Structure 1
Amino acid sequence: MAAAGVTTILILALLLPAAAVPCKAPRPDNATASKLLGTWLYVAGAAQFPQHLLEMLLIDHGHLHVEPRDREQELLLTQHVAVGDQCLTNNSTYFEITAGNTTLLKHAKTHQTLGMLMNLSSEDVLVIQYQLQRERTYLGLYLYARNLSMSTAHREEFENQAKCLGLSEEKIVYAPWKMELCQVKEIGGSGPRTEPVAAATASPPPPGTHQPGSTST
């Protein structure tokens, strides 16, 4: 089912070995943990294969919430994504901030590395890149933000990072945020600085970008 595929891709529930491949990404600093806490709104995703792009077109909106775990250098991710008439939830991944200040995305049970935080050039933007190896390598890049009304500079930064990884503008899909399935609920920490999710609208994608509704979904 398409919804199951989206769950696998966006919610990062795969139990596969992975190797994060930096692409000139700035290394997070010692204050990374505090910057990550709170709620992040899903803005866009980029993927290399056509079937994954089609699955991303089914996503209306989503968000993730980052909170501390028992271990000081680990942060739990609770992720939500609206697909069709469902709000899918998963909390099987976490961030691990290593001694070298690298922030890795890992699976909570297997502790296998799924990807890494790409940059923190702005405290309002979060970019996650992960690479999964099976029959062939799957490479994905996802953009989250505190505010859905993103600046052109932040969007261009994401697109440049995608290009660096070999993902062109045609492989980027922006979430439309037309529905109200996954409500943002704060549990402490920093929250999205925006209007309530039900009233928020993401900025339109740049020319040449896949737009939900303009392609078969």
Structure 2
Amino acid sequence: MMLVCAAIVLSLAHLFCAMPLHCELLRPQIPDNATASKLVGKWFYIAGASQFPLHLLEMVLIDNGYLHVNPTGHEQELLITQHVTVGGKCLSSNLTYLEVSINNATLIKYAKNEHIVGKLMNSSSEDIFLIQYQMHQEKNYTGLYLYARNQSVTEAQMEEFRDHANCLGLCEEEIIYAPWQKKELCQMTETKQMTPQAQRFQLQSYNSSEPSTAGHLQQRPT
């Protein structure tokens, strides 16, 4: 019952948020030849914001998490493996990849009943990783995630994230911060690199055979 009430409150939160008249900082990052190599490695999950109530509820349950970005056989594609600790369990997903070109960096996530497209957003530091996404499920929902090279970020970096969220019409009630109060259960292991063709085949196979969770990570226990 409490979760149902929370979902109703969160679903109404965006109605009380006023979007700024202009947001000059809110623009996608324009990658260069070095962008892909700079993104490779481990990124700690710091905070997320979303208009989609179920994503907000899932973020509340996350104790800690990280992304591991790996190169693939294609120089313009990076495989993103997500790991989170929830309720004493490690949950992982590798249904996401990032296409990096000179013009833009686009995040694609395939999941049954969901097709989420995101953009790598401009930021003031190479130590933070801002992803804005759009999800369509009956209507369009916007979200924003902040990852960083370290488990903690500066106040200026956190304020930058909040500014981006505000520009997207996401208010403080729609921002969830990772507590990082529990032990990180998901230990990073070596990931076998895959060609983009093999990765897409795996994603398509998963979509046709596995049930979907209506959420932010589409997680599977490891």
Give the TM-score normalised by the residue count of structure 2: 0.67
Is 1:67 aligned to residue 70 of structure 2?
Answer: yes
Aligned to 2:175: 172
Give the stretch that moved more between structures: 81-90 or 24-33: 24-33
Is 1:162 aligned to residue 178 of structure 2?
Answer: no
Deviation at 1:32, TM superposition (A): 0.8
Deviation at 1:180, TM superposition (A): 2.0
1:114 to 110, 113, 117: 117
Is 1:89 aligned to residue 89 of structure 2?
Answer: no
1: distance between equivalents of 2:177 and 2:68? Answer: 20
Aligned to 2:83: 80
Aligned to 2:32: 29
Is 1:38 aligned to residue 41 of structure 2?
Answer: yes
Structure 1: segments with no counterpart, 5+ residues: 3-21, 189-217
Aligned to 2:140: 137
**CA offsets 1:138-173 (integer angstroms, 9 cap, x no match):** 211100001122111100110000011000122111
Give the stretch that moved more between structures: 175-184 or 91-100: 175-184
Count of aligned pairs: 166
Residues 184, 146 of structure 1: CA spacing in aligned structure 2 closer, same or farther, 3 A cutoff? farther
Deviation at 1:25, TM superposition (A): 3.4
Equivalent residue of 1:123, what SS? coil
Is 1:105 aligned to residue 107 of structure 2?
Answer: yes
1: distance between equivalents of 2:35 and 2:120? Answer: 10
**CA offsets 1:155-212 (integer angstroms, 9 cap, x no match):** 0110000011000122111001122243343759xxxxxxxxxxxxxxxxxxxxxxxx
Aligned to 1:53: 56
User: Which has the larger Rg?
Assistant: 2
Deviation at 1:48, TM superposition (A): 1.5
**CA offsets 1:92-136 (integer angstroms, 9 cap, x no match):** 111101241x110113799x6621111242111001111011201
Query: Identity of aligned pairs, percent?
Result: 53
Structure 2: segments with no counterpart, 5+ residues: 4-24, 192-222
Please identify runs of 4+ aligned residues in structure 1 that moved more than 4 A. none
1:37 partner amino acid: V
2:43 partner amino acid: W
1: distance between equivalents of 2:116 and 2:62? Answer: 25
**CA offsets 1:73-97 (integer angstroms, 9 cap, x no match):** 1111111011212211011111101
Residues 48, 156 of structure 1: CA spacing in aligned structure 2 closer, same or farther, 3 A cutoff? same
Equivalent residue of 2:121, what SS? strand
